[in-house]
Amino acid sequence: MKIVSVDIIDVKNPLQSAVSKWRPIVVRINTDEGISGFGEVGMAYGIGASAGFGMAKDLASIIIGMDPMESEKIWDKMQKKTFWGQGGGTVVSAGMSAIDIALWDIKGKALNVPCYQLLGGKCRDTLRTYASQLQFGWGDAAKKEILTTPQQYAAAAEKALADGYDAIKVDVNEIDEQGVAKKRNLYGVFADRELMVGYKRLKAIRDAVGDEVDIIVEAHALTDTASAIRFGRMIEDLRISAYEEPVMALNHGQLKEVKNNINIPIAAGERIYTRWGFRPFFEEHIIDLIQPDLGTCGGITEAKKICDMGHIYDTTCQIHVCGGPIMTAASLQLECAIPNFGIHELHRYALLEGNRDTCKYDYLPKNGKYEIPDLPGIGQELTDKSIAESPKVTVQ
């Protein structure tokens, strides 16, 4: 089997105008045996996301004619041949990730098995899932139901509990009391007044749901080391399951300082790439819940290695999932096959109809749990309509 062409598709999506110019970039690798595999660049949002399209195109040019079953060989070639790949970084790693996921999709289809079978088989039949991004309400991101008061946060948490979830992730600090994002002073030793706003919201959630729900606190690295520690100490009595990205992971020493000064497990990893990037966090025992993103960390090939490395250091894993349905399906395949799985992320975008309609199959959790797709490969593809309507470039 040989790779004969690669399509890089800028998926047309209603969310591009409704939600932060949402822009899934999908790679379709085509073979001489008529089997095609789909992967996704994990840069669907944020300034610079369009760079993923160009990187996937450049990488596609060096894999034409290769055997798609030799994914390890292709991964190594992409990392070394590009020169920049050896140093890591989001854009190069994201392009590699999309191609790698598509190769695993081809493998599964060629052998007529789900990818999880090729990863060692299932460790579990369902994946416990948390509901996330509380500040936009549960599942209706298009309406942007901004929550501001502690009572509103508590009511949203109660709705999640009623919908069958026993775990939530919430950012209580990003939105100010007028509903404006990223306008609060969360930086430095004089941030306590602002941090107390977040504490009151979080306490209202805990008081509302009691001990029935696990709570992950999302910080998006909006706090510096001093304020991250102060907020962590404020919320220790609220029985927080994990404190996600209290500071930027670029300086692992700062994240370690936070961990050493609070009694809450640390979650991070969505902005760490390849096993080389994760290495110091494992060796210095900094992260308790690792969160590699299949679309940026190096694909299924690399994420499996990262999760296995983490297992050595007693870390649990939650794949970061903030992409289209292809990314969701690929993540489910890996998460069910690793022994140190912790929980699955249900991002608000995954619930939106405009996002879900771009692909053939509609996977959603039932009573707070995902079932695992049993179709060959990753179990997801773009619809013919999506491919026809979306701008694309073919490399051959």
CA distances in angstroms from 13 to 18, 52, 226, 356, 382, listed in the order given: 9, 17, 40, 10, 12
Q: What is the per-residue pLDDT for 287?
A: 98
Domain 118-371 has CATH 3.20.20.80: no
Q: What is the per-residue pLDDT for 212?
A: 87
Phi, psi of 56 (to 5 degrees): -60, -40
- Is residue 165 over pLDDT 50? yes
Report, as an integer, the average pLDDT of 283-289: 98
The angle formed by the CA atoms of residues 79, 83 and 85, to the nearest 5 degrees, is 40
Nearest to 69 by CA among 106, 101, 19: 106
- pLDDT tens figures, 233-279: 999 999 999 999 999 998 999 999 999 999 999 999 999 999 999 99
- pLDDT tens figures, 304-319: 999 999 999 999 999 9
The residues pairing with 261 across neighbouring beta strands, listed in sequence order, are none
Strands ordered across the beta sheet of 392-395? 36-41, 25-31, 3-10, 392-395
Report, as an integer, the average pLDDT of 323-336: 97
Q: Which CATH architecture has domain 3-113+382-395?
A: 2-Layer Sandwich (3.30)
- pLDDT tens figures, 5-42: 999 999 987 666 655 567 789 999 999 999 999 999 99
Point out the least confidently predicted range of 49-53, 339-343, 360-364. Answer: 49-53
Point out the least confidently predicted range of 149-158, 336-345, 369-378. Answer: 149-158
- Is residue 137 over pLDDT 70? no
With beta carbons less than 8 A apart as the criterion, state whether 38 and 373 touch.
no
Q: What is the per-residue pLDDT for 134?
A: 61
The angle formed by the CA atoms of residues 352, 353 and 354, to the nearest 5 degrees, is 95
**Which tokens is 202 given?**
């979080």
- pLDDT tens figures, 76-89: 999 998 888 776 68
Q: Is 112 exposed, middle or buried (0-12, 13-18, 19+ CB in 10 A)?
A: exposed
Nearest to 372 by CA among 127, 59, 84, 88: 127
CB atoms within 10 A of CB 364: 13
Instruction: Note whether 3-113+382-395 and 118-371 share their fold.
Output: no
CA distances in angstroms from 317 to 48, 291, 313, 334, listed in the order given: 27, 6, 11, 10
The angle formed by the CA atoms of residues 63, 278 and 323, to the nearest 5 degrees, is 60
* Domain range annotation of the chain: 3-113+382-395, 118-371
The angle formed by the CA atoms of residues 179, 218 and 139, to the nearest 5 degrees, is 65
Q: What is the per-residue pLDDT for 139?
A: 44
- Is residue 136 over pLDDT 70? no
- Burial readout 202-230 (b: 16 or more C-beta within 10 A, e: otherwise): bbbbbebbeeebbbbbbbebbbbbbbbbb
